[in-house]
Amino acid sequence: MGTDAGNLAEMRIKKGIGVSPGVAIAPAVVMDTEEFDIPMRHVPVDHAQAELARLVKAADVSKREILDLRARTVERIGQETASIFDFHLGLLEDKVLHQKISDTILGGNVTAEYAVATVLRGYAKEFLGMPQYLAERVKDIYDIEKRLLRNLTGQRHESLAHLTKDVIVLARDLTPSQTAGMDRNHIRGLAIDAGGQTSHTAIVARALGIPAVVGLNDVTAEASAGDSIIIDGTRGVVVIDPDSETLANYEQYAIQQVEFIHSLDALRDLPATTRDGHEITLLGNIEFPSEVRTVLEKGGQGVGLYRTEFLYLGSDVEPTEEDHYKAYCQVLEECQGRPVVIRTLDLGADKYTQSRARVPERNPMLGCRSIRFCLQNLVMFKTQIRAILRAGVGAKVSMMFPLITNLMELRQAKSIVRDVIEDLEEEGIEHRPDMPIGIMVETPSAALQCDAAAKEVDFFSIGTNDLIQYTLAVDRGNEKVASLFSAANPAVLHLLRDVIRSGLRHDVPVSVCGEMAADPLFTMPLLGMGLKTFSCAPPALPEIKKMIRSVTMEQSLQVARKVMNFESDKEVLNFLHAAARKVLPAAWPD
């Protein structure tokens, strides 16, 4: 982007993490952090019951508000995003929490406000001491605390739901309620000091199609209400008070982006074939059965990754074999004969299992998670395998084990499948005994042992999210190191190439099902490495298909060879941006 010498001193450019692509230009509105100062105040003993009644009333009002917000979120964004509020509702209905607050009121003869603040901030401290993925729940606890306190004190708060003009929202952070309640008609973009790729703000912004940049550290201190702001969610850039040339360039860029997105609609029923005739398979990643429809609407040819943890994380009751079976059959029915890859449970690094553990793990991402957890919980594991084998009758379905790190784990898991098949045969229950079995390659150890594993599996699926995290020792949910999480790191690229080559040598199909498959910057190098199957989030399918249909295999081979010679992710990204811009200038204008 260009600069205007007359305004150079006034224009400021901030670099963060782009979490929702697109360009937005509008005046800023800066959200103040809502803090309640609740001093300890005692009440007469005979007033304690009145305080309890106020608490019950505030909790009821808060619950109604969340139910209403959840319903509006389902209508505007979808069931999956609205599930953010399940935790809120669960906490408000938690009898243990209510008892603690009531005991605080009665035990100290204090106000309901003081009891709510004391108990919930105690909860928040407990969560802050937990692993990163659980520590993120602190935002939800603060959200609930503020909602209860507002309803106890009668205070109103600044809302993003009823705006009268287009704005860019700048905030230190946004609570889940604020994010999900945003007025899509007037909020053009988000610039957030905190957050990472997996924050609530990022999830909702992507679902709403609002350009967003997070992890900016101090954008709220740099800008003031009314300042002209440019959000570039694709590049992760925020421009404060842009000069005239920068503004003109971005206005043109925004028009090109809209035109490009609309052009993708025409690709839905066209094949994902390169310009020189090489056919590529495009599949979708799903978490809920209802998402199959979106995969097909976006031109997907089936489901390459069906995550099944929702059956556990959405309920406090362990699902039965029939619960599993019905969910899998629903997906297979929706797919109408198209391929479906069901991943077995990736539990262990989650609230469901950690809250039930006698001693929660300090670092569950490196602990008893995924296939390790399943191999230690055989009843649960066999229940799922039985349901998958039963649902697979007459269907194009495969079973995939996550986070395999050594051949022993793979052999143990396959042995359990054989045991379940024998049980089903003895019981006379119809099932599919010859179901293809594959593994997710998402650790360096698995990648380095692919030649040996290829002799024992039917397919590989590379989970780039975890592969990058474990290869680079970077927690992708930690905003302090999020900038180090890079798919373009040469170490990651070399592991990917080696896995794909191993699959080709042994005639074992390989797919990529992590976020890397959804990034069109990496489409050419992955094609050039020999990848034939991409599986990604449904919204990304049209752009990946456009990229595939715009290149030749020879171009892709040259790009893949070139990136292997670079020594840093910055060099790789600069080269890939230039290569992609030549192929699709509308998506990456100068």
Other Cβ atoms closer than 10 A to 23: 23
Runs of H (alpha helix) within 83-198: 86-92, 95-108, 112-128, 132-135, 138-153, 176-180
State residue 438 phi and psi, 5-degree precision.
-135, 175
Which has the closest alpha carbon to 171: 230, 121, 226, 217?
Answer: 217
In this structure, the strands spanning 23-31 and 167-171 are parallel
Report whether 544 contacts 521 (CB < 8 A).
Answer: no
DSSP-derived 3-state class of residue 134: helix
Report whether 313 contacts 134 (CB < 8 A).
Answer: no
Q: What share of the chain is helix, strand, coil (3-state, %, to 5)?
A: 50, 15, 35
577 given a catalytic annotation: no
Q: Which one from 335, 374, 450, 513 is the annotated catalytic residue?
A: 513
CA neighbours closer than 13 Å in the CB half-sphere of residue 217: 9
Q: Which one from 200, 324, 431, 536 is the annotated catalytic residue?
A: 200
Report whether 213 contacts 231 (CB < 8 A).
Answer: yes
State residue 268 phi and psi, 5-degree precision.
-50, -45
374 given a catalytic annotation: no
| Angle, CA 216 vertex, CA 211 and CA 219 arms, to 5° | 95
Type of residue numbered 381: F
Which has the closest alpha carbon to 219: 165, 175, 183, 168?
Answer: 168
DSSP-derived 3-state class of residue 491: helix
State residue 450 phi and psi, 5-degree precision.
-60, -40
Report whether 339 contacts 398 (CB < 8 A).
Answer: yes
Which has the closest alpha carbon to 344: 376, 388, 313?
Answer: 388
Contacts from 266-270 at CB under 8 Å and sequence distance 24+? 267/299, 267/542, 267/545, 267/546, 267/549, 268/297, 268/298, 268/299, 268/542, 269/299, 270/299, 270/545, 270/549
182 contacts: CB under 8 Å, gap ≥ 6: 160, 161, 169, 204, 208, 210
DSSP-derived 3-state class of residue 308: coil
Token digits of residue 492: 């990651």
DSSP readout, 189-239? Answer: EEEESS--TTSHHHHHHHHHT--EEE--SSHHHH--TT-EEEEETTTTEEE
Report whether 251 contacts 25 (CB < 8 A).
Answer: yes
Token digits of residue 26: 């509008």
How far, in Å, CA of 209 to CA of 229, rounded?
18
In this structure, the strands spanning 237-240 and 228-232 are antiparallel
How far, in Å, CA of 502 to CA of 393, rounded?
31
Return the active site residues.
200, 513
